[in-house]
Amino acid sequence: MTTRIKRLGSILAAAALPLAISTAFAQESPPLTDEEKAKAKEIYFQRCAGCHGVLRKGATGKNLEPHWTKTAADGTKVEGGTLKLGTKRLASIISNGTEGGMVNYDDILTKEEIELMARYIQNPPDVPPEFSLKDMEASWKLLVPVSERPTKQMNKVNLKNVFAVTLRDAGKLALIDGDTKAIWKILDTGYAVHISRLSASGRYLYTVGRDGLVTLIDMWFEEPKTVATIRLGSDARSVDTSKFKGFEDKYLVGGSYWPPQYSIMEGDTLKPLKVVSTRGMTVDGEYHPEPRVASIVASHIKPEWVINVKETGQILLVDYSDIENLKTTSIDSAKFLHDGGWDASKRYFMVAANASNKVAAVDTKTGKLAALVDTAKIPHPGRGANFMHTQYGPVWATGHLGADVVSLISTPSEEKQHAKFKANNWKVVQELKMPGAGNLFVKTHPKSTNLWADAPMNPEREIAESVYVYDLKDLSKPPRRIDVAKDSGLPESKAVRRATHPEYNEAGDEVWISLWGGKTDQSAIVVYDDKTLKLKKVITDPTIVTPTGKFNVFNTQFDIY
């Protein structure tokens, strides 16, 4: 751990002290002009709200309310020292990042923007307006009615091996042919698309942007076409479809960060049908005004969605078989729920309660919590990774934003040959050493013997620009480091190009990595042979701007990871 990170850890430890000291913050917040406030508000939404919350109450990131971000006017003594936050100290944290997984912004924001944000978060947070069913109806655009769409696939593209690639800061989505590696189509979407999801049929692609815009893309046209859009609110993160037999392509559900609620729409038109608030009590018995909807997945064994409510620690099993009389099972787990995925059997959903350093496992067959598993600091699995461990049987893997390990959790199996592993179920059976913290995604494939892990949130450039590959046949060996930035052949840049989000192709023999550069730097998708780990292709183009998440159609459609 570097001296810089240790120092920042001490700063944050002081910042997180009990709020009883809030009476010390009597001085006025730093002044902002209307122009400065508007600019800072936009930067906060784009870069900060996801971890710290619209109301700045914190979740994955720290609480950023003014009662502790402002400098103590009376020089309050805390543990033998003077608590001094304020503009200078906050600017240092923003600039350098933290050991808890916050990226360093000195290569993303200008020095003036960093100083502006340090002043902005010492002012009271703005509260965005609510967003009702009528607001959704007003935003809904049915661009191509179902009757005017193709009745069969009109192109010759292998849709199963198409990759949907988020072009974060461009507010666009690139559809790339996984067979030819050619860019098939680039479409406008919401800002910073968080995920892409597929309809049960594999025909329709749905995206949701951080600005709350949902886009429905029909891939049966000669060229993919946006056929409908709708807005869920001012900040959103997740969508999924109805996958159970008889409900294919019928419904879409979307979860909002603001307002805290989820919405149900028609799957083929996005016509809004229902909005359900998630405000309420936390698992600790306290009311929370901003319980954001994090990850959503569709069950394969029931007409049911698993909806994870971040701040309350509630996991909701929502039965969509009768949306007029919605039935919901609420399961207590732990705060603050974030992302997750299915175990190999697709019976258990595993979700990171990352600020609690736990993974919650839900048995969707019984509708009950199966386990709360203690893990290393700030688990962040993405969808996680399933494989057969040579010693411990079926396991599900998660990386960590705040710890330099990948945790392997033993998961149950109904197969007789796996009965001998039962004693280890719901335990972390092994921790694989990473070169540092800052992992966002781990990934493998049923046909692979490798486990890929990134570390884009690590403050060290060499680590952030690389990925690490573990040999599943011998996990005692250290992972092999692959320098993605170097392999890309792109010219060196001042900004860090972060290697992130490994994604397999349909066949399970290639891994695609996003090399996420700055807005003005050339970025790329770098493709590797999974067996040899050798470079196969660099996909780059002036239109490939800040690529982040990539979603292979087949693997996303069938939850293969």
Say what the pLDDT of residue 250 is: 97
Q: What is the mean pLDDT of residues 437-452?
A: 98
Residue 94 lies inside a defined structural domain of this protein: yes
Task: Clarify whether 219 is annotated catalytic.
Answer: no
Instruction: Specify the CATH number for the domain of residue 289.
Output: 2.140.10.20
pLDDT in tens, 145-189: 999 999 999 999 999 999 999 999 899 999 999 999 999 999 999
Indicate whether 92 and 151 sit together in one domain.
Answer: no
Check residue 46 and give its pLDDT: 79
Options 194, 288, 380, 445, the catalytic residue: 380
* Mean pLDDT computed over 418-432: 96
Assess whether 380 carries a catalytic annotation. Answer: yes
Tokens of 477: 């060996």
Among 365-369, 490-494, 513-517, the range scoring the smallest mean pLDDT is 490-494
Confidence (pLDDT) at 521: 85
174 close to 165: Cβ distance less than 8 angstroms: yes
Q: Average of pLDDT values for 122-145?
A: 95
User: pLDDT tens, 2-15?
Assistant: 433 333 343 334 33
Q: In 3-state terms, the chain is what percent helix, strand and coil (to 5)?
A: 20, 35, 45
- Which range of residues forms the domain containing residue 32? 3-120
Residue 171 lies in a domain: no
Which of these is catalytic: 48, 136, 265, 350? 48
Residue 76 has pLDDT above 50, yes or no: no
Same domain, 81 and 194: no
| Mean pLDDT, residues 264-277 | 98
Say which CATH number the domain at 84 has.
1.10.760.10
Q: What is the pLDDT of residue 84?
A: 55
Pair (115, 136) in one structural domain? no
Q: Is residue 467 part of a domain?
A: no
Residue 445 is among the residues annotated as catalytic for this protein: no
Q: Quick: pLDDT tens for 519-556.
A: 788 899 999 999 999 999 999 999 999 999 999 999 99
pLDDT-above-90 percentage for the chain: 78
Given 288, 338, 400, 501, which residue is catalytic?
A: 338
Q: Is 370 a domain residue?
A: no
Q: Classify residue 349: in a domain, yes or no.
A: no
If asked whether residues 43 and 151 sit together in one domain, one would say: no
Establish if 217 belongs to a structural domain.
Answer: yes
Q: At 555, is the secondary structure helix, strand, or coil?
A: helix
Q: Which of 197, 3, 183, 240 is nearest to 544 (CA)?
A: 183
Domain stops at, among 281, 301, 332 = 332
Per-residue model confidence (pLDDT) at position 63: 87
pLDDT, residue 99, reads 66
Lowest mean pLDDT among 30-39, 131-140, 337-346, 385-394: 30-39
3-state secondary structure of 348: strand
pLDDT computed for residue 400 by the predictor: 97
In a domain, 473, yes or no: no
| Residue 425 pLDDT exceeds 90 | yes
- Tell me, yes or no, whether 105 and 224 share the same domain: no
Residue 208 reports pLDDT greater than 50: yes
Last residue of a domain, one of 332, 358, 377: 332
Q: What is the pLDDT of residue 511?
A: 98
pLDDT score of 424: 96
Q: Are residues 142 and 263 in the same domain?
A: yes
Predicted confidence at residue 4, as pLDDT, reads 39
* Percent of the chain's residues with pLDDT above 70: 92
Active site residue 52: yes
pLDDT of 22 above 80:
no
Higher pLDDT, 46 or 215: 215
The predicted pLDDT at position 27 comes to 59
**Whether residue 306 sits in one domain with residue 221:** yes
Q: Are residues 89 and 145 in the same domain?
A: no
The pLDDT-based confidence of 100 (bands split at 50, 70, 90) is low
CB-based contacts of 339, cutoff 8 Å, min separation 6: 294, 295, 351, 352, 380, 381, 382, 383
Mean pLDDT computed over 317-335: 97
Distant-in-sequence, close-in-space partners of 187: CB < 8 Å, separation ≥ 6: 172, 173, 175, 215, 217, 224, 226
Does a structural domain hold residue 252? yes
Q: How many residues does the chain have?
A: 561
Any catalytic annotation for residue 338?
A: yes
Q: How high is the mean pLDDT of the chain?
A: 91
Residues 302 and 271 in one domain: yes
115 plus 137 within the same structural domain: no
Number of folded domains that form the chain:
2
Q: Active site includes 102?
A: yes
For residue 60, name the pLDDT band (cuts at 50, 70, 90): confident
**Statement to judge: residues 150 and 275 lie in one domain:** yes
DSSP 98-133: -TTSPPP-TTTS-HHHHHHHHHHTTSPPP-PPP--H
- ∠ at Cα 93 (499, 523), nearest 5°? 20
Q: Is 46 exposed, middle or buried (0-12, 13-18, 19+ CB in 10 A)?
A: middle
Domain shared by 98 and 151, yes or no = no
Domain stop point among 66, 99, 120: 120
